[in-house]
Amino acid sequence: MKDWPETFDIAIVGGGNAALCAAITAAEAGATVLILEAAPLPYRGGNSRHTRNFRCMHRGPLSVLIDSYEEEEYFHDLMLVTKGKTDEGLARMVIRASEACLPWMEAHGVRFQPSLSGTLSLGRTNAFFLGGGKALVNAYFNTATDLGVKVAYEAEVRHVHREADRITHLEVTVAGQPVTVRAKAFVLASGGFQADLDWLARAWGPSARNFLIRGTPYNRGVVLRDMLDQGAESVGDPTQCHAVAIDGRAPKFDGGIVTRLDCVPFSIVVNRDGERFHDEGEDVWPKRYAIWGRLVAAQPDQVGFSIIDSKAIDLFMPSVFPPIKADTIEGLASLMGLDPATLRRTVDGFNAACQPGTFHPTELDGLRTKGLNIPKTNWARPIDTAPFYGYQLRPGVTFTYLGLKVDDRARVHGTDGPIQNLWAAGEIMAGSILGQGYLAGFGMTIGTVFGRIAGKEAAAHVA
């Protein structure tokens, strides 16, 4: 195997937010840095290019963020979603460090915008990237290359060679050719394993092959698996993931945010057999949307169908695909591959169970059905006004939770303590903080904070 022609102080695996934050920080500290990105240039940036915002602590108005969002409230929000499965020390460290991230990001090319309609509730907690994650990633690549960071595309790291408590080199395939990359320090920022459908199927059973992957096809967990096989300490449960219900017409990979469907609370959702299977009005959508990925995953063929009428069509953010539309419920059923008579029966049964009351689309209105085995507890209005609309739902996996255990210096640990010249940042170590659940915008916060720590520590190691 040939050696990479140049030598670098630090080799960084991955080309998303965490990798770039590490690369920029290390280069500014004087280290020479090589980024190894598995994707070709047009697909660089991993899941980070699909993001919209990051969650940021602030003690007063900060850039586009209004009011304040202090440590205790942030930590409380985190505890609610993780149900206490949080490493408090690491979580508080990330929360506190997030405040300094925003000006750092601005200084390195990221531009922010106030939250727009549909996301106004996040205007205090989450700072939105102008141009989305793609603009953020492009800004960071520009900054990094201006600092002399070298980027190798189509460079998939296949093996991280460990000898005792050190990493000696990486075995990489660059544009199909095997190459050895030597460096003094290494940062792993290669995301989760959700794009490896075989691994998903081993963890969740064969039905996982029908899941759609919302982000990059390059996060296959090759480096994660390799490190776990070499005794790196792991965190997180392989069967845990963040999954949401997305439009069934989304591509297998990389559909991104625009394929998410927000119509569920104003609809009834039936399975392949035309039967409802869960309370669609359980809570406000931002609190429930993440459970529908798993609910749909548990249905036959891992598919669901959300049915609404013309009264509801303008009540939610539209997805990129237009809904299926018909003048009758039977016509809609035929277009969606459902049995018309069964769907008619389900809709009639639901309509008969709806009660009079006042409908409030933006709050829990208590408008509930009466007498159904599976009630709808809010926003239950008859589906009776043509035209009727339907969306097919499928589980869309955002990311997996199994990862490498790190300490507050981002060091990866083996059974005998930290590996001397190895750090990890981003999704690959996020399970060190989050045991379950997810707080919107926290993925990018973890990656930014730990990317910067990893870059600083690795640069200090080689100095």
Ligand X SMILES: Cc1cc2nc3c(=O)[nH]c(=O)nc-3n(C[C@H](O)[C@H](O)[C@H](O)COP(=O)(O)OP(=O)(O)OC[C@H]3O[C@@H](n4cnc5c(N)ncnc54)[C@H](O)[C@@H]3O)c2cc1C
| Contacts with ligand X, residue ranges (CB under 6 A) | 13-19, 36-39, 45-48, 50-54, 156-157, 189-191, 214-216, 218-219, 222-223, 256-257, 398-399, 426-427, 441-444, 447
Residue ranges of E strands in 74-210: 112-113, 126-129, 150-152, 155-163, 166-174, 177-188
Nearer to ligand X, 126 or 302 (CB): 126
Taking the C-alpha atoms of residue 279 and residue 266, their distance in angstroms, rounded to an integer, is 11
Distance in Å, CB of 268 to ligand X, minimum:
26
Other C-beta atoms closer than 10 Å to the C-beta of 385 total 13
List the structure tokens of 29.
Answer: 């500290």
| Closer Cβ to ligand X, 194 or 346, answer by number | 194
Give the pairing type, strands 403-404 and 234-235.
Answer: antiparallel
> Hey, what amino acid is at 72?
E
The answer to whether 429 and 224 are in contact (CB under 8 A) is no
8 Å CB contact between 31 and 462: yes
Tell me the closest approach of the beta carbon of residue 204 to ligand X, in angstroms.
Answer: 18
Question: Which residues, 6 or more positions from 317, have their beta carbon under 8 angstroms from its beta carbon?
Answer: 118, 262
Nearer Cβ to ligand X (222/268): 222
Closest CA to 20 of 79, 121, 108, 85: 108
- Nearest distance from C-beta of residue 186 to ligand X, angstroms: 12
* 3-state percent helix, strand, coil for the chain, nearest multiple of 5: 35, 25, 40
Other beta carbons less than 10 A from residue 295's beta carbon: 20
Nearest CB to ligand X, comparing residues 31 and 152: 152
CB of 293 to ligand X, least distance (A): 12
Q: Which is nearer to ligand X, 123 or 331 (CB)?
A: 123
CB of 260 to ligand X, least distance (A): 8
Q: Which is nearer to ligand X, 398 or 421 (CB)?
A: 398
DSSP H/E element including 98: helix 88-107
Question: Do you know the residue count of the chain?
Answer: 463
**Of the two residues 224 and 308, which places its CB atom closer to ligand X in the complex?**
224
Beta strands in 296-387 (DSSP E): 304-309, 324-326
Q: How far is the CB of 169 from ligand X (least distance, A)?
A: 14
Shortest separation between residue 434's beta carbon and ligand X, angstroms: 10
